[in-house]
Amino acid sequence: MIFRPHQANTEIYEKFPEGNGIFHFPKGRIKDPVETERLYYDTLIHSDFVLGINTSAMLEAIILDKPVVSYLADEFKKTQSDAQHFQELLAENTIETAESPQEFAKIAAKLFAGEDNMRGQRKNFIKKFIRPNSPDRPAGEYAADEIEKLA
C-alpha cells in the first residue's frame, strides 16, 4: 500500500512507520510541479484502490475508475461530511466509508480480493457529474459551443 499525503500537508507524516508493504511516497515536497503531477497520476493509476480524505483526490480516483474508501473522523469533518461534493459522493453511493481501522481493514481485504461492488455507481457518477454530455467528445469542445452561443 502506498501512503501518499497531500503535498500541502507532508510534515506530520514524515515519521509515519513503513514496512509490511506500506510505503510513504513521496517523502517531503516535490519542487517541480510537472514531476508532482506525473507522480500523482502514476500513484493513482497503479493503485488497487484509494483511501481518501481530500475529495479532490477521491474525484480523480473515481475518474480513473479506482475504488475509493473514505476514513470518516471528526478531525476531517470540514472537508468531508460538511462539504457538498462529499455529500454527493455519498448520495450517489460511489465511495465506501470506514469509521475505524478495523472497518477499513475489512473493506481493503475485500478490494484486494477483487470485490468491487461500486464500479457501476462510479460509472454512473462520471456520466452524471463529471462528463454529463459525453465522454466521447472533449469537454473543451462543449465549452466552445456554449461560448459561441453567447456571442
Q: What is the pLDDT of residues 7-65, one digit of tens each?
A: 666 665 566 666 666 655 665 566 777 887 888 888 889 888 988 877 888 899 999 99
Could you tell me what percent of the chain has a pLDDT over 70?
A: 80
Query: How far apart are the C-alpha atoms of 147 and 140, rounded to whole Å?
Result: 10
Q: What are phi and psi of 50, to 5 degrees?
A: -125, 130
Instruction: Give the per-residue pLDDT at 14.
Output: 64
Query: How far apart are the C-alpha atoms of 59 and 115, rounded to whole Å?
Result: 20
pLDDT grade for 82, boundaries at 50, 70 and 90? confident
